[in-house]
Amino acid sequence: MPPPAVTVWFDGDCPLCVREIALMRRLDRRGAIAFVDLAGGGGCPADRAALLERFHAQESGGEMVSGAAAFAALWRAIPVLAPFGRMARNPVLLWGLERAYRGFLRIRPRLQALARRFSKIPPGERA
């Protein structure tokens, strides 16, 4: 079996992350992505706290990236999203996506609290 096209590290205790990763798993029909749940004891190639602060990914043979660049790497591994991932190679577009991601990070704790409050996912059940 070939190595994954991209590896992503995510927080399996975050209801927002669990939902998003579940969607990405459904879209990853080729099995090109290795999903590593940091809350489920998945391996940490870097500082665990740093990996939990921001979304991280690593394309096969590439360096680990975070934030918008990590989302773009993930998108490139999924055919239906690949055009968006390729467009994000444009530095100006990636800069805008990173700014939007940083804005999201500021409100993430409140969104997580809301998602936990209204979540239908039983505690302990992860993506």
Would you kindly state where each structural domain of the chain is located, as residue ranges?
6-118
pLDDT category, 40, cuts 50, 70, 90? confident
Other C-beta atoms closer than 10 Å to the C-beta of 82 total 12
Strands 33-37 and 6-10, sheet pairing: parallel
Q: What is the pLDDT of residue 123?
A: 52
Average pLDDT across the chain, whole number: 89
> Is pLDDT of 42 > 70?
no
User: Long-range contacts of range 19-25, CB-CB < 8 Å, 24 or more positions apart?
Assistant: 19/115, 19/127, 21/127, 22/127, 24/74, 24/78, 25/127
Q: What is the pLDDT of residue 95?
A: 98
Q: In the predicted model, what is the mean pLDDT of residues 68-81?
A: 97
> Is pLDDT of 121 > 70?
no
Q: What is the pTM of this model?
A: 0.85
